[in-house]
Homo-oligomer: A and B are copies of this chain.
Amino acid sequence: MTEMTEGTDTAQAVTQAITARRELVNEAIPQELPIQEPERLYEASRYLLDAGGKRLRPTVLLLAAEAIADVPPLSEDYREFPAPERTVDMMAAAVSIETIQSFTLIHDDIMDDDDMRRGVPSVHREFDLSTAILAGDTLYAKAFEQMLETGADSERSVRALSELATTCTKICEGQSCDIAFESRTDVTTDEYLEMVELKTAVLYAAAASIPAILLGEDEAVGPLYQYGLNVGRAFQIQDDLLDLTIPSEQLGKQRGSDLVENKQTIITLHARQQGVDVDSLVPEDDVEAVEEETIEEAVERLEAAGSIEFARELAHDLIREGKEHLRVLPDNEARDRLDDIADFLVEREY
């Protein structure tokens, strides 16, 4: 097998692993969050979940469960997943993580006054501000209900719940830092990475480590948490990179919109530290009005400052470090997929 074929096979295996689990998660969402009275509230709560999403976090959770249990991928019913003494509803845990993710998107879109998400209007635009706040609050409670319904023994349930609650606290702290950074020009790359850890990476860490908690595989909890934390950080850096390096058509939004909106990213913060006058890179502040050429020149200056390379290397370092923690798991196919997904997160182009 040539290296290139191997690369293609890996890419295919990752895509298949994500697609298969995404379909199962998509089936489980209406079961876990049925539309009930008051209907408008539940429709708003389901709106973003139904609009799509890659379901990366639940995929990580389900694969981690399979790797820990040392079972062939997709060989077990996630609703009755084999644990030492009883079966565990691993799908309820997976949906719980996606439910938290959806709650944070709804509230973040209000705070950032974003009109669109996943190709549809944001919830506060499609419905209204009050309904969007309440939809987020409802998903928040439902995520805890879902995590309480895995059927794991009480001690493990309490630990999983505790992990979920502290994760939510950290996400709020991270979002608060992100907002505070908007009015500061002296944010360092280290501060930015700490914010990303809180806002984004801890939910990957929870997704990766909670199956170890639920299955009672205590020695895997810490390493899987570190795996999730590192790939979660890399995921955000890749998001920052994609905004600059992928053509607008492929990105589904204007390339360089972070620059237009003066959003701080790991790339602009590094460039600032290198003395680049980041604020003047794209003078326009209307995404519609900006010329492709202006973005092109801005990216060239960021490249010249070494900032794009810095971000790329950082993302790859984090992925490498994250993957090392997988060694705690048995050597099996699910572990290979977790390894591949880590690479996928920094190689993806969407």
Contact = CB atoms under 8 A, between A and B. Distances in A.
A144 B143 CA distance: 12
Contact of A38 (B38, B145, B157, B173): B173
B133 A133 contact: yes
Considering residues A131, A148, A172, A179, which has the most beta carbons from chain B within 10 angstroms of its beta carbon?
A172
Given A157-B154, A180-B40, A169 B138 contact: yes
Interface stretch (A3-11, A159-167, A283-291, A318-326): A159-167
A246 interface: no
Contacts of A138: 169, 172-173
A169 B154 contact: no
A284 to B, nearest CB: 25
Please classify how large the interface on chain A is, using the bins under 10, 10 to 19, 20 to 34, 35 or more.
Answer: 35 or more
B154 A133 contact: no
A142 interface: yes
B134 A161 contact: no
User: Would you call the interface of chain A mostly helix, strand, loop, or mixed?
Assistant: helix
Contacts of A137: 107, 136, 140, 168, 172
Interface string A130-158: 11011011101110110010000111011
A195 B295 CA distance: 53
Given A110-B129, A129-B110, A165 B148 contact: yes
Interface of A: 37-38, 40-41, 107, 110-111, 129-131, 133-134, 136-138, 140-142, 144-145, 148, 153-155, 157-158, 161-162, 164-166, 168-169, 172-173, 175-177, 179-180
Which 5 pairs show the lowest CB-CB distances between chains A and B?
A154-B154, A141-B168, A111-B130, A41-B176, A144-B165
8 contacts: A41-B172, A111-B130, A111-B133, A131-B179, A134-B175, A138-B169, A138-B173, A148-B158
